[in-house]
């Protein structure tokens, strides 16, 4: 059975900070209420990524969070992770589905409405849409998409949307009001206290969602 996506996905990052490793960030974020953790490391070797994925999957399972790896369908399969997130230049989503089966989460990146609709047609479980605001964590060739584009995507698809890119404690409320889940990197990983940072984000998202359901 597929694990839930939840309200907050934290993407662990060891290039923007060096105080914590991936495993430590994983635990700190979950203790703050993060529902999903994504491992993304462009510099680690395949063997290092595999060892990390095994350890982080074990930790996430023990603490009740969902764990996915970025890009690497081979490691998702080998380490039996909860799922994988695929960008526009990664293995096609239908191919990943054939490899991983129907019980695994497969997310797909989109930066336009057309791409989002294609990700949904391809059979993804969620769309990672962005970047919403200006961000320095990853080089971006295009302009920020903003809240309006995010709302348009959410209104046009039936699968969950996770907003990503430049989301901070000061703008997360506006994102949450669209109904999107939230993915962050620096807002948690580079925070003085990643656990408190994650908890604050989760509390803000929850408060917005509770207001909309009452």
Convert the pLDDT of each residue in 7-56 to its tens digit: 999 999 999 999 999 999 999 999 999 999 999 999 999 999 999 999 99
> CA-CA distances (angstroms) from residue 159 to 25, 96, 191?
28, 18, 30
In this model, does residue 108 exceed pLDDT 70?
A: yes
Q: Note the CATH number of domain 8-213.
A: 3.20.20.70
Average pLDDT over residues 150-163: 98
Please give the biggest Cα pair distance in the chain. 48
In this structure, what DSSP letter does residue 21 have?
Answer: -
Residues contacting 172, CB < 8 A, separation 6+: 182, 187, 201, 204, 205
In this structure, what DSSP letter does residue 128 have?
Answer: E
Beta bridge partners, 9, equal 36, 183
Query: pTM for the complete prediction?
Result: 0.97
Domain spans in the chain, listed from the N-terminal domain onward: 8-213
Residues contacting 199, CB < 8 A, separation 6+: 32, 33
């Amino acid at each position: 059975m597929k694990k839930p996506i939840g309200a907050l996905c934290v993407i662990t990052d060891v290039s923007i900070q060096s105080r914590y490793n991936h495993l430590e960030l994983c635990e700190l974020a979950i203790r703050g209420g993060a529902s999903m953790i994504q491992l993304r490391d462009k510099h680690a070797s395949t063997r290092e990524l595999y060892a990390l994925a095994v350890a982080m999957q074990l930790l996430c399972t023990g603490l009740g969070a969902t764990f996915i790896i970025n890009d690497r369908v081979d490691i998702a399969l080998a380490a039996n992770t909860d799922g994988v997130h695929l960008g526009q230049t990664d293995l096609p989503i239908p191919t990943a589905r054939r490899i991983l089966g129907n019980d695994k989460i497969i997310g797909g990146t989109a930066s336009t409405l057309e791409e989002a609709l294609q990700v949904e047609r391809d059979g993804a479980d969620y769309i990672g849409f962005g970047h919403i605001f200006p961000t320095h964590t990853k080089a971006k060739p295009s302009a920020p998409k903003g809240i309006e584009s995010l709302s348009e995507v959410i209104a046009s698809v039936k699968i969950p949307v996770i907003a990503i890119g430049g989301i901070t404690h000061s703008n997360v409320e506006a994102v949450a009001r669209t109904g999107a889940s939230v993915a962050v990197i620096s807002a948690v990983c580079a925070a003085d206290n990643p656990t408190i940072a994650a908890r604050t984000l989760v509390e803000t998202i929850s408060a917005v969602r509770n207001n909309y359901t009452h």
